Amino acid sequence: MRHLPPLNALRVFEVVARTGSYARAAQELGLTHGAVSRHITTLEGWLGQKLFMKDGRRMVATPIASAFAAEVGHAFNRLSSAAEACGRPGARRILRVSAPTSFAMRWLIPRLDRFHRANANVEVVVTTVSTVHEELRGGFDVAIRRGVASPHAWPQHHALPVLDDIDTLIMSPALFAQNPIRSPADVGQFPLLASETRPGDWVDWLEAAGIPHLAGKPRQVFDHFFVTRQAVEDGLGIGIGPLPMLGIDIAAGRLITPLPHIQVRRTGYVALVARRADNAGMVGTFVDWLADQGLGAGALPSPPPE
């Protein structure tokens, strides 16, 4: 007989760790706040250590509890998948994918219909994170993050490159029609729009364009790139954007790249899968599809020769 902690307490623990709140966990599980607290106390007694610390109104998992919660989440996901496969072999399988907001909105979701057409028995559920450096937690089968596919960078996960990243200048067609940008020198006439989540974009591009003296020009900064992209589309100024995630906007005529030959290569995106996951099943199929859509499709144009 395996020596297991109380399974109901584990279930409650995983939800509290994921939501950071006893109250939200109680609501999700249909329990009272007191019942959630008792389950956590029971598990802490079984493990012999504290699992959460109060930080304002949030219950923050200790570092070791956070790692434990990720493993518990993966275990419950595998149990759920096994139960579905056993009980309803023909039922659709759920694949949970965690991705940065801009990546999900501008690149992944517009392509998901292609995956679903080829894999009718799989339903991909996408959840977004506000930054590419968001902590990896349980509750997903595949996570997309910016980084390199190095085992040292992701010790708990298998990492596969799925998409390169190149920055270039973007603006709205209407703004270009009013005041076209024909050379880097024209950039100084426009408001510069930037994103907190993509720091350094303007400095690096201005350096590549040979006009680093404009690096001190004031910029209007938004918290996320998808907000900046919308401001560029609305003609409020010009921005720096990642070519792979702007393909649909450029094809639809919502954005243009006035100086496409001036490019800055960035660290790309990788797909992360827990080392204990079944990479030969639908997770492996999805990751292979991601890589084929990204790197295999030749999504990025190369700069012209010098």
What are the tens digits of pLDDT across the range 106-143? 899 999 999 998 888 888 989 888 754 545 655 688 99
The whole-number pLDDT of residue 206 equals: 96
Mean pLDDT of the chain: 85
Q: Cβ–Cβ contacts within 10 Å for residue 118, how many? A: 10
Q: Is the pLDDT of residue 91 over 70?
A: no
Measure the N-to-C terminal CA separation of the chain; round to a whole number of Å. Answer: 69
The whole-number pLDDT of residue 156 equals: 80
- Closest by CA to 57, choosing from 19, 8, 7, is 19
The whole-number pLDDT of residue 304 equals: 34
For residue 55, name the pLDDT band (cuts at 50, 70, 90).
confident
- DSSP letters spanning 95-125: EEEEEEHHHIIIIIGGGHHHHHHH-TTEEEE
Is this model's pTM higher than 0.95 or not? no
Comparing 227 with 102, the larger pLDDT belongs to: 227
Mean pLDDT to the nearest integer, 188-216? 93
* Domains of the chain as residue ranges with CATH: 1-91 (1.10.10.10), 92-163+267-294 (3.40.190.10), 166-265 (3.40.190.10)
The whole-number pLDDT of residue 261 equals: 95
SS (H, E, C) 149-185: CCCCCCCCEEEEEEEEEEEEEEECHHHHHHCCCCCHH
The whole-number pLDDT of residue 263 equals: 95
Distances (CA, A) of 202 to 82, 226, 240: 48, 16, 7
The whole-number pLDDT of residue 298 equals: 45
Going across the sheet that includes 238-242, the strands are 122-129, 93-100, 142-146, 264-274, 157-170, 238-242, 192-195, 219-222
What pLDDT, in 10s, does the model give residues 212-257? 999 889 999 998 888 999 999 999 999 999 988 888 899 999 999 9
Q: Is the pLDDT of residue 297 over 90?
A: no
Contact 149, 270 (CB under 8 A): yes
Mean pLDDT to the nearest integer, 158-186? 94
Distances (CA, A) of 260 to 5, 184, 250: 58, 11, 12
The whole-number pLDDT of residue 203 equals: 95
